[in-house]
Amino acid sequence: MSLAYSALSLARHALTGHRHWPRAWRDPAPKPRYSVIIIGGGGHGLASAYYLAKEHGITDVAVLERGWLGGGNTGRNTTIIRSNYLLEPNAHFYEFSLKLWEGLSRDLNYNAMVSQRGVINLAHSDSQLDQFAHRGNAMRLNGIDCELLDRAAVQRMVPILDYSDHVRFPIYGGLLQRRGGTARHDAVAWGFARAADRRGVDIIQNCEVTGIRVENGRVQGVETSRGYIAADKVGMAVAGHSGHVAAMAGLRLPIESHVLQAFVSEPLKPCIDTVVTFGVGHFYVSQSDKGELVMGGDIDMYNSYAQRGNMPMVEHTLSAGLAILPMMSRLRMMRLWGGVMDMSMDGSPIIGKTPIEGFYINGGWCYGGFKATPASGFVFAHTIAQDRPHKLNEHFTLDRFDRGAAIDERGAGPTPNAH
Amino acid sequence: MTERFRLASGGTAIDRARPLSFRFDGKRLTGVAGDTLASALLANGVRLVGRSFKYHRPRGIFTAGPEEPNALVGLRRGDRHEPNTRATMVELYEGLDAESQNRWPSLRFDVMGINDRLSPLLPAGFYYKTFMWPPKAWLTYEHYIRRAAGLGTAPTARDPDRYDHRSAHCDVLVVGGGPAGLMAALAAARTGARVILCDERVELGGSLLRENRMIGEETGAAWARRIGAELGTLPNLRLLTRTTAFGLFDHNMAGLIERVADHVATPPEHVPRQRRWNVRARQIVLATGAIERPLIFAGNDRPGVMLASAARAYIHQYGVRPGSRAVVFANNDAGYRTAADLAAAGVTVAAVVDSRIADASTGTTQLAGIPVLSGHAVVSTDGRFGLTGVDVAPLGEGSAVRRIECDLLAVSGGLTPTVHLHSHAGGKLAWDDARLCFVPSTGRATVRSAGAAGGAFGLGACLAEGARAGAETATAVGFSAPAGVTAPAVTDEAVRPPQALWAVPARAGKASKRFVDVQDDVTVEDVGLAAREGYVSVEHLKRYTTLGMGTDQGKTANVNGLALMAQLRGEAIPAVGTTTFRPPYTPVTIGALAGREIGLHFMPVRRTPMHDWHGAHGGHMIETGLWMRPRCYVRVGETPDQAVRREAAHIRNAVGLVDVSTLGKIDVQGPDATEFLQRAYANGWANLPVGKARYGIMLREDGMVFDDGTTSRIADKRYFMTTTTANAAPVLMHLEYLLQIVWPELRVQVTSESDQWAAMALAGPRARTVLARVVEGLDVSDASLPFMGAREAHIAGLPARIFRISFSGELAYEINTPADHGLALWEALLAAGAGEDIIPYGLEAMGVLRIEKGHVAGPELNGRTTAEDLGLGRMVSAKKPDFIGKHLRERPGLKDESRLRLVGLVPVDGTSKLRPGAQIVADAAPTLPGKSLGHITSTAHSPTLGHSVALALVSGGATRKGETLYAAYFLEEGGATVPVRVVDPAFVDPEGKRLHG
Amino acid sequence: MAERRSALADAVKPGVYGAAGPAGPGIEIRELGPLTVVQVAAFDADRAAAAIGEALGTPAPSARNGVATAGAAAVLWTGPGRWLVIEPESRDLASLLRQHCPSDAATVTDLSHARAALRVEGLKVRDLLAKLSILDVDPTVFPPATCAQTQFGQVGVLLYCRLHDGFDVFLPRSFAVSAFEAVIDAALEFGCRVS
Amino acid sequence: MMLIDCPWCGPRGHVEFTYAGDATVKRPAPDASEAAFADYVFLRDNRRGPHRELWHHTAGCRRFVEVHRNVLTHEILGTSAPEVSK
């Protein structure tokens, strides 16, 4: 029976009670050597392996995952995709990513539920509208869709927000990117895994990297919980744990790990159609297809590798939520969890070569990782295959801090928890 | 309609003398005080209460507690509507109004019920495999999927109720008021320790209220009531009923929700609906009990199928007969107790179906007149909206199916300890093969489980463990246990071990579904599909099938699902592991998490001493970083924009007064104060005489501009520093860091004086005239008080610090007075200026004036600009051996000539309006994507020049002076680009004649 | 001395608010003032403490969160080598302290106008503080003659426990109205008399 | 909420403090190289486990506190007055 996913194949399999679906990806034992090893079986690592195979014909690749695929931030984020960035390197990179998202489900033959329902950033003063105008005009000049909305236009799109005057932060308007939206996070990991597997990539779960072997400045391979595996090239895509893994290769990074929490409400009939971001309150919300309100806030502000946070940030985030959505008050928060973020020193990612030959880094994603997944894999694959960055990641180098070429979207400076 | 299922007697929770009327789906019914909505519905014979999430199958009441997956209702109407409310946890009150959910048009006839027929096409994860064609069509498919999904409907209005927060600290927190919890609380409290006991139900007792057990001569319920009363008399113990411990966080901070007024129609005035307790406990005893698992067989989801523990609870706690004719199906001894209790309550028990083979060693329990079918299982059920009968067959070979009529099927698959909080605290779990459940293993030293929560299911064991846990936790924090708190001796009857029966095998040719997770409609076949496709880790199983992702978070489903996956993988259950329990234990009202920091109090408001005056005099108040400031003062018949232009023009020609109290003010004092400023600022401070002010720029260590402001030397070893409004707090902390961590040898103290001083700027050609009228004992002539002079004097009898500094570019004085005098000084200056036509002016006119002067502010100090970028490079000291920012500002990227640097822009045509946020490009009609040369940061209509002017950050900066570029505002449809000329940013009085005047 | 206008001048409206219990309001609130508040911040804590002693007759408390009183003046410990001297406005306290504190031992800063002060009393006062702050306000932990700096929500406050059921609460001036509203709101369930 | 034992004020909830990052990075001497300053400003060990970090007791005594905390479990191993640069 056809391996491809489609309505037809679904119907055919229904006749046999779905008893003949094959594995989505194999469960191979690690080989002693690979051309390329990708550390980290999250969206970025799996996408990198997929594009290595698809774009560069490199299929002798292993993705090593400590636990289960997508168990890191891929499966813990609030699934927002957008490219509404101010600074050119970010704008071009994330816009390329958004374009990949738009064709991703069909490219992978796996429905990643890419839902371009729009992303609105709310403005609460004229000066904030000016800042949004700055960002919006920059986006348009960079060829990215974007609209500046007045209060009435925001109200038409998101009628459920509080437009009364009895609020701390009245809504003046907003910045809308219609092509922004959400995608199904787990499906991204699974879809890339299945597609990479079908191109010959070995995806190896429950295989923790415990050491990185480097000899005279060149990477040799990795020690793992399943033995030593040699490789010509090794790429790490373990955002959240970059500091920890890079240390195995003797590298210190311009990164701190911080915990970011997310919450979901009980499932409800549709009430919010777009992604709404309330920057002043560090709050954003969207509604999942299951009907849950998916909410996020700011990081807990202290270094952490624990995938859980504390109540003060929950409290603050939900008060912020009620400040724009008082109707949420009687709804219930059903689940809360934390993810570990690579907070870089300028709030922008690091994708590129390292001082160690054959060892490449992909990290420093702050909160931006999920939406970057396809482009991150695409340019990381290029960087590994060609041993030089792709045009889209040439600015995201590790040495930009020494050179004074930080990409500081927020202007917060070298204070990771401020980005 | 009468309560035909209400028993004549019994019911530990209810008061038959107090009838209550309520509505379900508009139908008027009656219950009694003490009922839950679920028990009242059952008492009235209502069995169909909702529809399932995915297949919209008819569902009834499945449990009697917080684990309820099915009986979710919409409670209350209008702005107090609460979707997805568990009927089993709702205390009945007079006039309660509930409606069923996830059905249209009605509960009995639900069109989406079609999904059940289509289910062969909708296996787990079906949506990952389809809806990919045609391109971009997903949004359309999704539109319908979203409408089919979801459960209840959200209210749209503001919640009229209030939610309070409070903190509490204790030596021992006991969670759960069942037999173990009661003993633990008593034993701990008797030592004198500060104890908090919380229980999520209205009454203490836990299982004692739901079971027919004796403790000594008393019934369990009576014993619980007596102990509860005793606890109530202990001053060092706080008793919190109707209070759910929803989460356990770092350092023993427990989150509790007290449902203060959910049991009444509307909360009394000033009483919160719910109160959230933040409890910090030195020791914690988790006596959270256990939750029964269902058994999995074909048709195990019909209304009338119920947990055995629930069936017993409805009888003993609520005096309700959960059915008329029952079958009991169990893999453990709970079945027999259930059958006996049902029989005693007058329910005909048609059979006890025990999946275990009876043998000589174990034998079978005999119950008078109740047939026991050992080694049998229920293989299917019938009944569209409620159970009408079950088919029973021997397990394994030979399938002599026998049909048994019944309207109740009580099932028990064994117990699962409620380990959520243990798990929140990072505790691990171990699988117990004898008891067939996960029990707490290692965990936080200060958190321990007692009773059923720890796997001790016998009453006697619960009581004993509770007493021990209470005494030991109290002694662990330094209290000594007095003699005499011993648990009453209760002998637990020997139980035969349960026998694993994770799913009754499907019968050939029967397609009827076997549900693992009844809320999200996850079947045994779905688990099989996940295993087949490689989604074999627990987390993949959960995410791929949505097992345990519903409002009940899989309390009755997770372990069964896990066990099935283990079977399919041919591994032991521990090898498959268990999903991490995340807070909350049960869903928590968002309002209760937010508390009182909502509405206008979402973030505190900061007010200047002249706040009320502004409001009373036409000030349009706007928020800037918590502060409320007047944007402008609008006169009758004026628009705000006109007001701003009028005010700005007026300052250039006459005089005005603006409130600048929001500026950060820092007292810098000490023998090394001067050296400290030398190192903290980029420019030099060595030779500033007392009585003089100086403009300073602070850099970040990475070389970017951090903040700017004027600092004055008011005494030999004392400076008065000002910062921008936005950076007042960050600058102070930065200085504290430098003094405490980097240069501890410097003897300097820094103290915030931001709130100590009211500050106002008197600006305009006539400023001196006005000041001279009211100042006392100070010659304010240019000779005596020149530009950048700083003096102390009295003004209109009020102490003041007068600084001759200017943000506006006019002759100006920044005047500070102790805050409580602020309004008086403000009014005195306005009075003194009456003859000079003085006006108050606002934030925006101030902005216009500073833009005309080319002074940088927030939009230019964006954290990405260096001193050079802002045209302040010459100020940065080349001589000082060290200062913050010195060492990284020389990096090539910060010296690059193509950096964005400050320039002025004017419209070439002298009329076009320049707008903030416009992009600067080289072509009149740029092709997209195009190259940015920079952007406009601030604009104003210059009253002096009579046209629009702008400050901009442009690549190359001043080197482009004279060039014509284009300002592009793409956000405006058809917005044409505006030709602009690059000029010096100081548009007005570049030589500074006016301010020196 | 010139008339002072407190930050709460318009906010404090005498009356009884909230629940009316049989025992009367559980909370009594009145504004204190005008006060003189002077900070002494030491480079040499011992010399500074002694100097304060010379100036006021009682040495500054060295114990954490300690309070010493000298006549109408209270000396509150606000950090290592840091004190706030608080008294009803009457004399030039800052100059007095400056005379006694050598400039190489401590600095003196007048903060009289930087705060608004409330006297909060009543049987429910500790319950009220438990609603507003995260401190452990149990009498065994926070007894009379001690003080603590903490926050009400996002607003930093200084609490001075004078009596078992009596606290003085010092609020930052610019936040005073906002914080006062929060205090009254929290007190409603206990009943609250503002005088 | 974490409980930080301020060496000066006593045990307080962590929301009274402002996190100030790795306590082990020390500002180099003024004559140190640009590279040394870049390391100080940008590079972190970011270890997974015990971590020495600074917290500023913003709502309390306004002193920086050195907290020895396991960032994997959030368990605090000790607090002290910060060790200063020199």
CB atoms inside a 10 Å sphere around CB A195 = 24
Whether residues D18 and B733 touch (CB distance < 8 A) is answered with yes
Query: Counting beta carbons within 10 angstroms of the beta carbon of residue A18, is it exposed (0 to 12), middle (13 to 18) or buried (19 or more)?
Result: buried
**Rama region for C189: left / alpha / beta (φ>0; ψ in -120 to 50; rest):** alpha
Q: Note the pLDDT of residue D83.
A: 79
Q: Note the pLDDT of residue B367.
A: 77
pLDDT at B508 over 90: no
Neighbours of chain A (3+ CB pairs under 8 A): B, D
- pLDDT tens digit string along B734-791? 999 999 999 999 999 999 999 999 999 999 999 999 999 999 999 999 999 999 999 9
CA atoms of B477 and B474, how far apart (whole Å): 5
CA atoms of B849 and A327, how far apart (whole Å): 43
Whether residues C80 and D16 touch (CB distance < 8 A) is answered with no
- pLDDT tens digit string along A339-350? 999 999 999 999
Spell out where B413-510 has E strands.
415-417, 429-432, 437-440, 447-449
- pLDDT tens digit string along A137-163? 999 999 999 999 999 999 999 999 999
Mean pLDDT for A388-411 is 97
Residue-wise over A208-245: b if at least 16 C-beta within 10 A, else e? ebeebbbeeeebbbbebeeeebebbbbbbbbbbbbbbb
Q: Which residue of D has its CA nearest to C159?
A: D60
Mean pLDDT for A247-268 is 97
pLDDT at B360 over 80: no
pLDDT at B363 over 70: no
* Chain A CB within 8 Å of residue B729 CB: no
Q: Which residue of D has its CA nearest to B250?
A: D2
* Chain B CB within 8 Å of residue C50 CB: no
CA atoms of A303 and D67, how far apart (whole Å): 12
CB atoms inside a 10 Å sphere around CB C72 = 10
- pLDDT tens digit string along B236-282? 999 999 999 999 999 999 999 999 999 999 999 999 999 999 999 99
Q: Which residue of D has its CA nearest to B248?
A: D1
Name the average pLDDT for chain A: 96
CB atoms inside a 10 Å sphere around CB A99 = 14
Q: Note the pLDDT of residue A2.
A: 56
Spell out where B216-273 has E strands.
218-219, 237-240, 243-249, 253-258
* CA A378 to chain centroid: 14
CA atoms of C57 and C45, how far apart (whole Å): 17
Tokens of B698: 């602070």
* Chain B CB within 8 Å of residue D2 CB: yes
Higher pLDDT, B364 or B283: B283
pLDDT at D86 over 70: no
Please list every residue in chain B whose beta carbon sits closer than 8 Å to the beta carbon of residue A103.
Answer: 135
Q: How many CB pairs under 8 A join A and D?
A: 78
Mean pLDDT for C145-149 is 98
Q: Highest mean pLDDT range out of A376-390, B1-15, B975-989?
A: A376-390
Contact status, residue B42 vs residue B64, Cβ threshold 8 Å: no
Please list every residue in chain D whose beta carbon sits closer than 8 Å to the beta carbon of residue A361.
Answer: none
Contact status, residue A278 vs residue A122, Cβ threshold 8 Å: yes
CA atoms of A248 and A245, how far apart (whole Å): 5
CB atoms inside a 10 Å sphere around CB B640 = 15
* Chain D CB within 8 Å of residue B744 CB: yes
Q: B580 pLDDT band (50/70/90 cuts)?
A: confident
**Rama region for B749: left / alpha / beta (φ>0; ψ in -120 to 50; rest):** beta
Q: Note the pLDDT of residue B495.
A: 86
Name the average pLDDT for chain B: 95
Whether residues A106 and B153 touch (CB distance < 8 A) is answered with no
Chain A closest-CA separation from residue B863 CA (Å)? 4
Please list every residue in chain A whose beta carbon sits closer than 8 Å to the beta carbon of residue B583.
Answer: 336
* Chain A CB within 8 Å of residue B229 CB: no
* Chain A CB within 8 Å of residue B737 CB: no
| Structure-token match 């209509």, residue found | B941
Neighbours of chain D (3+ CB pairs under 8 A): A, B, C
Interface test with D, best of A244, A258, A299, A302 (most D CBs within 10 A): A302
Whether residues B596 and C155 touch (CB distance < 8 A) is answered with no
Q: In percent, how much of chain B has pLDDT > 70?
A: 98
Taking a contact as any Cβ pair under 8 Å apart, which residues of chain A between 323 and 342 contact chain B?
323, 326-337
- pLDDT tens digit string along B781-801? 999 999 999 999 999 999 999
Q: Note the pLDDT of residue B20.
A: 98
- pLDDT tens digit string along B690-700? 999 999 999 99
| Structure-token match 């720890």, residue found | B454
CA atoms of A319 and A278, how far apart (whole Å): 12
Mean pLDDT for A285-298 is 97
What contacts B123, CB < 8 A, 6 or more positions away? A14, A18, B525, B526, B529
| Structure-token match 């001043």, residue found | B958
Whether residues B165 and C131 touch (CB distance < 8 A) is answered with yes
Q: Which residue of C has its CA nearest to D10?
A: C64
Mean pLDDT for A188-213 is 98
Whether residues B590 and A334 touch (CB distance < 8 A) is answered with no
Its ipTM equals: 0.98
- pLDDT tens digit string along B124-152? 999 999 999 888 899 999 999 999 999 99
- pLDDT tens digit string along A41-52? 999 999 999 999
H or E stretch including B309?
helix B308-316
Q: Note the pLDDT of residue B469.
A: 97
- Cα separations in angstroms, B710 against B685, B697, B713, B823, B879: 12, 9, 10, 23, 21
CB atoms inside a 10 Å sphere around CB A356 = 18
Q: Note the pLDDT of residue B359.
A: 63
Tokens of C57: 């007759």
Interface test with B, best of C93, C154, C174 (most B CBs within 10 A): C174
Q: Note the pLDDT of residue D84.
A: 65
- pLDDT tens digit string along C99-121? 999 999 999 999 999 999 999 99
What contacts B434, CB < 8 A, 6 or more positions away? B497
Tokens of A110: 């796996």
Interface test with D, best of C62, C132, C136, C150 (most D CBs within 10 A): C150
For residue B580, the 8-state DSSP code is P
Alpha helices in C136-187 (DSSP H): 176-187
Task: Give φ, ψ of B889 to 5 degrees.
Answer: -75, -5
Q: Which residue of B has its CA nearest to A291?
A: B150
Tokens of B566: 């283990």
Which of B953, B932, B899 lies closest to A137, judged by CA?
B932
Higher pLDDT, D64 or B368: D64
- Three-state SS string across chain A, please? CCCCCCHHHHHHHHHCCCCCCCCCCCCCCCCCEEEEEEECCCHHHHHHHHHHHHHHCCCCEEEECCCCCCCCHHHCCCCEECCCCCCHHHHHHHHHHHHHHHHHHHHHCCCCCCECCCEEEEECCHHHHHHHHHHHHHHHHCCCCCEEEEHHHHHHHCCCCCCCCCCCCCCCEEEEECCCEECCHHHHHHHHHHHHHHCCCEEECCCCEEEEEEECCEEEEEEECCEEEEEEEEEECCCCCHHHHHHHCCCCECEEEEEEEEEEECCECCCCCCEEEEHHHCEEEEECCCCCEEEEEEEEEEECCCCCCCHHHHHHHHHHHHHHCHHHHHCEEEEEEEEEEEEECCCCCEEEECCCECEEEEECCCCCHHHHHHHHHHHHHHHHHHCCCCHHHCCCCCCHHHHCCCCCCCCCCCCHHHC
